Amino acid sequence: MEHATYSPALCVALALMAGMLAQVLARRLSIPGIVVLLGTGVLLGPEVLGLVRPTTLGGALPMLVNFSVAVILFEGALSLDVRRLRKEGRVIRWLVTVGALVTALCGALAARHVMGWSWRNALLFGTLVMVTGPTVITPLLRRIRVVRPVETVLEGEGIFVDAVGAITAVVALEVALRPPEEALSTFFHALALRWAVGLGVGGLAGGLIARGLKSQRAIPEELRNVFSLAMVLGLGQVSGALAPESGVVAVIAAGLVVGNAGVPVRRELVTFKEQLTVMLVGMLFVLLAADVRLREVTALGWRGLVTVGLLMVVARPLAVWASTQGARLTWREKGFIAWMGPRGIVAAAVASLFANRLEAHEMDGGPALRALVFLVIAVTVVVQGLSGGWVADWLGVRRTAPGGYVLLGANGLGRLVARALKAAGQHVTLVDTGDEACRRAQEEGLHVIFGDGLDERTLLRAQLEGRAGFVGLTVNEGVNLLFTQKVRDHDRAAPRLVAMHRGHSAIRKEHATEHNRVLFGDERGLDLWASWCDRGQVSLERWVLEAPQLEASTPGASRALEDALLPVLHVRDGQVRLYDDLTRPLTGDRVDFALHAERADVARDWLAAHGWRPEASVPAPAWVGGILPEPCGPPSLSS
C-alpha cells in the first residue's frame, strides 16, 4: 500500500477490524483474547505486513489512548460491587499500596542489576510494572471461575492498582525530567494533587451522572447510554486538564459511584460499556503492539526474559505475601493470587507515553523501556493466562460446579417448574428482571438472580458450567430462544429447553427444535398458565403409567386438555428430567403434572382412562395449590 493512500483513519479502521476479528478467534479457540491481540498487532505492524502503522497517527495516538482508557476503567469500576469489596477490603488496600511498592522496587532492582540500566530508567520501569489491569484479569477470571474471595481480590486490585500505578509512573517521569534538587518535593506534591483532583472531580461527576440517570424526566431513556459515555469522556479530560493524568482516578471514582448508586438503567449501561470496552481494548492492543519494534524486543536478549521471570516468580509472590499477612485467605488462595499478575492496557499505554516523552527530551532508554514493558505484557499474559486454569485446578481454588438447572423466568409458571425440580432434589437457579417475580421466588425459598438473562455478566453470575440443563421459560418464546443461544456458547453439552407459546406465528416450534427441546412436550398457552400459577389455581400431582396405550398415553396427544393438564417432570429409574418433546413415557414411568384447578377433574379422568394412576405414596408439597411459605424477612435480590 502506497504511503500516499495510507491515512490515519485507515490505520484506526484496520486496528478496529483486526481487534474484533482477533477476539472472535480467541473466543472460538478458548484462549485469552490478549494473546491473539498481541500477535495480531505484531503481524499487522510495520515490521511484518505493514498494514497497521501507528506512526501515521502522530499526536492523535495518545489522545485515542486516553479516551479509550477512560471508558475501559469506568466500565470496570461500574461493575464492582462495594459490598463484595468490603469483605476483602484489607487485602485489596494492601495489594495496591504495599504490594505495588514491593513490585516497583523489585522491578527497579531487576532492571538495574540484570539489564544494567541507569537508576532513572530502572525506577521508571518499576513504576510501569506495578499495574495488572482489568482488561486482562477480568476475561481470565471469566474463563477460570475461581472462588469468590480470590475473584474479588483480583478484580479489585486490577481496577485500583491501575490508578495507583498510572499516576505514580507519570509523576515519576515528571520527577525524572526535573533537576535532582526538586525531585522529592515534586514527587509528593504531584501525587497529592492528582489524587485530590481525581477523587474530587470523579466523585462529584459520578454523583451527578447517577442523579441524572435516576431521574425519569431529566434524561430521555434513549439518550442515557450516550449521555453517560459523553460525561465519562469529558470527565477524564477535564480532570486531566486540572491535574495531568488525574483522569484515571476520576473515571474509576465515577464508575464506583454510579455502579453502586442503585441506578435503574445500570444493567443497560453496563452492557453498553462492555461492548465499547471490547471494541476499544481490541483496537488499543493492536495499535500499541504494532507500535513496538521487534528488533527492540529481541535486542533485550536473555536479560529481558530473566527480568520478566524475576517479576513473575519473585516480585509478585513477595508482594502478595507482604499484602496478605493476617488475611482470612488460605495458602492455596494466596498462591493463586501470587501467580496471577498479568499486565494490561494501562502498562502498554503509559510505556508508549514514556518512550515519546524521553525521546522528546533527548534522553536515552525510551525504546528499550517500551520494549521491556511489552515483553512483560506478552510473557505474563501468555504464560499466566494459558496456565491459569491448570494452576487453579492444582491449588483447588476453582468454584465448584453447582449442577442442576438454570431457568430464565421467575413468573408463576417458572416458579412452579423450579419448585418441582427442587422437590425432586435438583438445584435450581432462576433469573429474572422483575422485582415482584424475584421477591416471590425468594419467599418460596428459591435461589434467584436479579438480572437480564441475555446479559453476559448475569450469565456469569449464574455459573453456567456443569449444569444439568438450561430452560427458557418466559412468556416470550423469542427471548427463550435467545437465552438458549447465549448459553450454548458456554456449554454445548447440557440440554437446552424452550417454552413455546401456542398460536404465535412469528416463531414456531420448528425454530426451536434444531438445537433445543420443547418444554412441556409441545407449544402451550404460557401466559395463561403463568397467570393461573400466580393466582394459586394450579396443583402438582405425580402419576404413574401402568398400561401405556402408545401415543394415546402421551399427555400432549389431546389439545382439548391444554388448559387443564401440563406435564412438567419425567422420572424413570430414579432419573429426573424435564418433560420435553422427546419424552415417551413407558410402563412404570412417573410424571409430575400441573393441573388447572377449574378443570382438574377433567384432567384426572383423562389420565385414569389412558393408563395412569395417582401415586398416593408421594406426599403433596406445602406449596401445592398456591400456598406459599411465610417470608422470614425482607428478601434480598442479590445472587
Nearest to 465 by CA among 498, 492, 430, 428: 492
| SS3 state at 536 | coil
Q: Are 621 and 540 in contact (CB under 8 A)?
A: yes
**pTM for this predicted structure:** 0.67
Considering its fold, how many domains does the chain have in total? 2
For residue 36, tell me if it sits in a domain.
no
Distances in Å between the Cα of 394 and the Cα atoms of 333, 397, 400, 451 are 11, 8, 14, 33
Angle formed by the axes of helices 345-360 and 60-78, to 10°?
150
Same domain membership, residue 465 and residue 595: yes
Residue 551 has pLDDT above 60, yes or no: no
545's enclosing H/E stretch is strand 538-545
Same domain membership, residue 370 and residue 516: no
Using one digit for the tens of pLDDT, what is the confidence trace for 495-538?
Answer: 888 888 776 555 555 555 566 888 888 888 888 888 888 888 88
Last residue of a domain, one of 363, 395, 427: 395
Q: Which residue do the cell numbers 404413574 mark?
A: 544
Whole-angstrom distance, CA of residue 510 vs CA of residue 516: 10
Q: What is the share, in percent, of the chain residues with pLDDT greater than 90?
A: 13
Summarize the confidence of residues 87-111 as an average pLDDT.
90
For residue 22, tell me if it sits in a domain.
no
Whole-angstrom distance, CA of residue 287 vs CA of residue 290: 5
Residue 339, pLDDT score: 93
Residue 382, pLDDT score: 86
Residue 95 has pLDDT above 80, yes or no: yes
For residue 627, tell me if it sits in a domain.
no
Q: Are 14 and 52 in contact (CB under 8 A)?
A: yes
Mean pLDDT is lowest, of 152-161, 247-256, 608-617, for 608-617
Which residues are CB-contacts of 225 (< 8 A; sequence separation ≥ 6)? 265, 268, 269, 272
Residue 234 vs residue 357, higher pLDDT: 234
Residue 305 has pLDDT above 90, yes or no: yes
Whole-angstrom distance, CA of residue 635 vs CA of residue 71: 34
Residue 219, pLDDT score: 79
Same domain membership, residue 570 and residue 540: yes
Residue 18 has pLDDT above 90, yes or no: yes
Same domain membership, residue 432 and residue 375: no
Residue 554, pLDDT score: 62
Q: How many residues does the chain have?
A: 639
Residue 622 has pLDDT above 50, yes or no: no
Same domain membership, residue 242 and residue 96: yes
Same domain membership, residue 494 and residue 551: yes
Q: Are 347 and 128 in contact (CB under 8 A)?
A: yes
For residue 562, tell me if it sits in a domain.
yes
State the CATH number of the domain containing residue 353.
Answer: 1.20.1530.20
Which residues are CB-contacts of 278 (< 8 A; sequence separation ≥ 6)? 20, 23
Residue 180, pLDDT score: 61
Residue 555, pLDDT score: 60
Same domain membership, residue 209 and residue 73: yes
Same domain membership, residue 347 and residue 436: no
Q: Which residue do the cell numbers 447510554 mark?
A: 225
Q: Within 13 A of 584's CA, how many CA atoms are on the CB side? A: 4
DSSP code per residue over 579-639: -BTT----TT-EEEEEEEGGGHHHHHHHHHHTTEEE-TTSPPPTTTTS-PPPPSSS-----
Same domain membership, residue 558 and residue 455: yes
Residue 318 has pLDDT above 90, yes or no: yes
Same domain membership, residue 411 and residue 391: no
Summarize the confidence of residues 315-338 as an average pLDDT.
91
- What does the mean pLDDT of the chain come to? 81
Q: Which domain holds residue 203?
A: 60-395
Residue 333, pLDDT score: 92
Whole-angstrom distance, CA of residue 291 vs CA of residue 61: 10
For residue 76, tell me if it sits in a domain.
yes
58: which DSSP letter?
A: T
Residue 321 has pLDDT above 90, yes or no: yes
| SS3 state at 195 | helix
pLDDT confidence band for 105 (50 / 70 / 90):
very high
Last residue of a domain, one of 395, 415, 442: 395
Q: Which residue do the cell numbers 525530567 mark?
A: 177
Residue 218, pLDDT score: 76
Give buried/exposed letters for 31-54 (b at 16+ CB in 10 A, else e): ebbbbbbbbbbbbbbbeeeebbbb
Last residue of a domain, one of 338, 368, 395: 395
Whole-angstrom distance, CA of residue 201 vs CA of residue 195: 10
Q: Are 447 and 421 in contact (CB under 8 A)?
A: no
How would you write 273-296 as a 3-class SS string? HHHHHHHHHHHHHHHHHHCCCHHH
pLDDT confidence band for 335 (50 / 70 / 90):
very high
Q: Are 564 and 595 in contact (CB under 8 A)?
A: yes
Q: Are 336 and 378 in contact (CB under 8 A)?
A: no
Q: Are 30 and 211 in contact (CB under 8 A)?
A: no
Q: Are 497 and 472 in contact (CB under 8 A)?
A: yes
Summarize the confidence of residues 353-362 as an average pLDDT.
76
Residue 456 vs residue 467, higher pLDDT: 467
Other C-beta atoms within 10 Å of 391: how many?
17
| SS3 state at 574 | coil
Whole-angstrom distance, CA of residue 436 vs CA of residue 58: 55
- Order the strands of the 447-450 sheet from edge to edge: 447-450, 428-432, 405-408, 469-472, 496-498, 517-518
Summarize the confidence of residues 564-579 as an average pLDDT.
87
Q: Are 71 and 229 in contact (CB under 8 A)?
A: yes
Backbone angles phi, psi at 146, to 5 degrees: -90, 175
Nearest to 114 by CA among 316, 292, 315: 315
Residue 288, pLDDT score: 83
Enter the C-alpha cell of residue 300: 533485550
For residue 26, tell me if it sits in a domain.
no
Mean pLDDT is lowest, of 63-67, 167-171, 355-359, 504-508, for 504-508
Same domain membership, residue 465 and residue 390: no
Q: Are 339 and 384 in contact (CB under 8 A)?
A: yes
Residue 618 has pLDDT above 50, yes or no: no
State the CATH number of the domain containing residue 504.
Answer: 3.40.50.720
Q: Which residue do the cell numbers 481496577 mark?
A: 159
For residue 25, tell me if it sits in a domain.
no
Nearest to 568 by CA among 489, 443, 634, 473: 473
Q: Which residue do the cell numbers 493466562 mark?
A: 385
Summarize the confidence of residues 302-309 as an average pLDDT.
93
Using one digit for the tens of pLDDT, what is the confidence trace for 279-293?
Answer: 888 898 898 888 888
pLDDT confidence band for 303 (50 / 70 / 90):
very high
How would you write 472-498 as a 3-class SS string? ECCCCHHHHHHHHHHHHCCCCCCCEEE
Give buried/exposed letters for 578-592 (b at 16+ CB in 10 A, else e): bbbbebebeeebbbb
Nearest to 416 by CA among 477, 473, 496: 473
For residue 620, tell me if it sits in a domain.
no
Same domain membership, residue 179 and residue 226: yes
